Amino acid sequence: MRFWRRQHNSLSSTSLVSAKGGESLLTPIASIWLTLTLALAVAPHANELPIWLTPAFFVIAGWRAFIAIRKQPLPPRWALLTLALLATAGVLVSYRTLFGRDPGVALMTAMAACKLLETRGLRDGVALVFLGYLLVMSNLLYSQEIPMVAYLLGVVTLMLVSQMVIHRQHAGLTALAPLRLAGKMVLAAIPVMLVLFVLFPRIPGPLWGLPKDAYKGRTGLSGEMEPGTISQLIQSGEVAFRVRFTGDMPSSKQLYWRGPVLWSFDGRRWRQREELPSKTPYPLTPEGPVLDYAVLMEPNNRRWLLALDLPASLPPSAGMTRSFQVLREQPVNEVYRYAMRSYLQYRTGQLTASERFLGLQLPPQSNSRARELAEEWRARDPRPAALVGKALSLFREQPFSYTLNPPLLGFHSVDEFLFRTRKGFCEHYASAFVFLMRAAGVPARVITGYQGGERNELGEYLIVRQSDAHAWAEVWLEEQGWTRIDPTAAVSPNRIQQGIYAALADTDTLPFLARRGGDYEWLRRLALNWDALNIQWNEWVLAYGPDRQKEFLSGLGFGAVDWREMTIAMVVTLSGLGAIFIILRWRSRQLPDPVARAWQQFCDRLARRGLARGSHEGPLDFSERVVAQHPELAGPVRDIARLYAALRYGPVISPPAVRRLQRQVRRFHIRHH
Amino acid sequence: MATLEDQLEFTIQEVGTTILGKERAIRLALACLLARGHLLIEDLPGMGKTTLAHALARCLGLQYQRIQFTSDLLPADILGAAVYERQKETFVFHPGPIFAQLILADEINRATPKTQSALLEAMEEGQVTIEGESRELPKPFFVIATQNPAYQIGTFPLPESQLDRFLMRIELGYPDVQAERMLLEGEDRREVLARLAISMAPAQLHEAQAKVAGVHAAPPLLDYVQALLAFSRQSNRFRGGLSPRAGLGLLRAARAWALLHRRGHVLPEDVQTVLPAVVGHRLHPGDDNLEQSSAALVEQLLNAVALPA
**Alpha-carbon distances of A658 from A178, A196, B4, rounded to whole Å:** 22, 39, 30
Peptide bond into B140 cis (omega under 30): yes
Active site residue A470: yes
Flag whether pLDDT at A217 surpasses 80. no
- B308 touching A (Cβ < 8 Å): no
Closest by CA position to A241, among listed A289, A198, A292, A304: A304
Tell me how far apart the alpha carbons of residues B242 and A285 are, in angstroms, rounded to a whole number: 98
Domain regions of chain B by residue span: 4-202, 214-304
What residue type is A206 in one-letter code? Answer: P
Do residues A270 and A431 touch, judged by C-beta distance below 8 A? yes
To which H or E segment does residue A448 belong? strand A444-451
Do residues A454 and A463 touch, judged by C-beta distance below 8 A? yes
Do residues A284 and A343 touch, judged by C-beta distance below 8 A? yes
- Bigger pLDDT: A513 or A487? A487
Q: pLDDT value at position A53?
A: 92
A contact test, residue of B224, B257, B265, B274 with most A CBs within 10 A = B265
Active site residue A213: no
Model confidence band, residue A1 (pLDDT cutoffs 50, 70, 90):
very low
Interface contact flag, A621 B307, Cβ < 8 Å? no
pLDDT, tens only, B45-95: 788 888 888 888 888 888 888 898 888 888 888 888 888 888 888 888 888
- Bigger pLDDT: A395 or A214? A395
Flag whether pLDDT at A179 surpasses 80. yes
Peptide bond into A310 cis (omega under 30): yes
Flag whether pLDDT at A256 surpasses 90. yes
A contact test, residue of B267, B270, B274 with most A CBs within 10 A = B267
- Shortest distance between the Cα of B92 and any Cα of chain A, in A, equals 52
Provide mean pLDDT across the span B259-266: 90
Nearest chain A residue to B307, by CA: A616
Flag whether pLDDT at A3 surpasses 90. no
Interface contact flag, B267 A618, Cβ < 8 Å? yes
- Shortest distance between the Cα of B233 and any Cα of chain A, in A, equals 18
Contacts for A562 with CB less than 8 Å, ≥ 6 apart: none
**Alpha-carbon distances of B116 from A191, A462, B150, B246, B254, rounded to whole Å:** 73, 104, 15, 21, 28
Radius of gyration of chain B from Cα atoms?
A: 20
Q: pLDDT value at position A564?
A: 84
Closest by CA position to A286, among listed A572, A73, A558, A481: A481
Residue B121 CB: number of other CB atoms within 10 A? 16
Do residues A613 and A623 touch, judged by C-beta distance below 8 A? no
Residue A292 CB: number of other CB atoms within 10 A? 13
Q: pLDDT value at position A21?
A: 45
The mean predicted confidence, pLDDT, of chain B is 85
Percent of chain A having pLDDT more than 90? 26
What residue type is A520 in one-letter code? Answer: Y
Model confidence band, residue A134 (pLDDT cutoffs 50, 70, 90):
very high
Tell me how far apart the alpha carbons of residues A298 and A296 are, in angstroms, rounded to a whole number: 7
Q: pLDDT value at position B130?
A: 79
Contacts for A620 with CB less than 8 Å, ≥ 6 apart: A641, A642, A645, B267, B269
Can you name the CATH fold of B4-202? Rossmann fold (3.40.50)
ipTM: 0.85
Residue B135 CB: number of other CB atoms within 10 A? 16
Model confidence band, residue A450 (pLDDT cutoffs 50, 70, 90):
very high
Do residues A501 and A235 touch, judged by C-beta distance below 8 A? no
Contacts for A599 with CB less than 8 Å, ≥ 6 apart: A619, A644, A648, A661, A665
Instruction: Reduce the DSSP state of residue B175 to 3 states and report it.
Output: coil
The mean predicted confidence, pLDDT, of chain A is 84
Q: pLDDT value at position A13?
A: 37
Interface contact flag, B216 A600, Cβ < 8 Å? no
Model confidence band, residue A15 (pLDDT cutoffs 50, 70, 90):
very low
Which residues of chain B does A591 touch, with a Cβ-Cβ cutoff of 8 Å? 309
| Helix residue ranges, H only, A329-417 | 353-360, 368-380, 384-397, 413-416
Which residues of chain A does B266 touch, with a Cβ-Cβ cutoff of 8 Å? 649
Closest by CA position to B244, among listed B231, B232, B257, B229: B229
Nearest chain B residue to A649, by CA: B218
Q: pLDDT value at position A6?
A: 38
Q: Tell me which of A309, A468, A486, A531 is the catalytic residue.
A: A486
Flag whether pLDDT at A445 surpasses 90. yes
Tell me how far apart the alpha carbons of residues A100 and A84 are, in angstroms, rounded to a whole number: 19
Do residues A455 and A249 touch, judged by C-beta distance below 8 A? yes
Model confidence band, residue A343 (pLDDT cutoffs 50, 70, 90):
very high
Which residues of chain A does B303 touch, with a Cβ-Cβ cutoff of 8 Å? 614, 616
Span of A84-98, A164-178, B263-277 with lowest mean pLDDT: A164-178
Backbone angles phi, psi at A49, to 5 degrees: -70, 160
pLDDT, tens only, B167-213: 999 888 888 888 888 888 887 777 888 888 888 888 888 888 899 98
Active site residue A673: no
Best-predicted range by mean pLDDT among A562-566, B14-18, B90-94, B214-218? B214-218
Cβ-count burial of B18 within 10 angstroms (0-12 exposed, 13-18 middle, 19+ buried)? buried
Flag whether pLDDT at A588 surpasses 80. no
- B305 touching A (Cβ < 8 Å): yes
CATH code matching the domain that covers B214-304, chosen among 3.60.15.10, 3.90.1150.10, 3.10.129.10, 1.10.8.80: 1.10.8.80
8-state DSSP, B61: T
Q: Tell me which of A415, A426, A468, A531 is the catalytic residue.
A: A426
Model confidence band, residue B249 (pLDDT cutoffs 50, 70, 90):
very high
A113-117 LR contacts (CB < 8 Å, sep 24+)? A113/A56, A113/A57, A113/A60, A113/A61, A113/A87, A114/A60, A114/A80, A114/A83, A114/A84, A114/A87, A116/A34, A116/A35, A116/A38, A116/A60, A116/A61, A116/A64, A117/A60, A117/A63, A117/A64, A117/A74, A117/A75, A117/A80, A117/A83
Considering only the beta carbons, identify the residue of B266, B305, B309 that sits closest to A649. B266
Which residues of chain B does A649 touch, with a Cβ-Cβ cutoff of 8 Å? 216-218, 220-221, 265-268
Provide mean pLDDT across the span A197-211: 69
Flag whether pLDDT at A609 surpasses 50. yes
Domain regions of chain A by residue span: 2-199, 224-514, 548-589, 591-667
- Bigger pLDDT: B219 or A517? B219
Tell me how far apart the alpha carbons of residues B213 and A219 are, in angstroms, rounded to a whole number: 84
Q: pLDDT value at position B139?
A: 80
Do residues A498 and A455 touch, judged by C-beta distance below 8 A? no
- The partner residues of A256 in beta bridges, in order of sequence, read A451
Flag whether pLDDT at A195 surpasses 70. yes
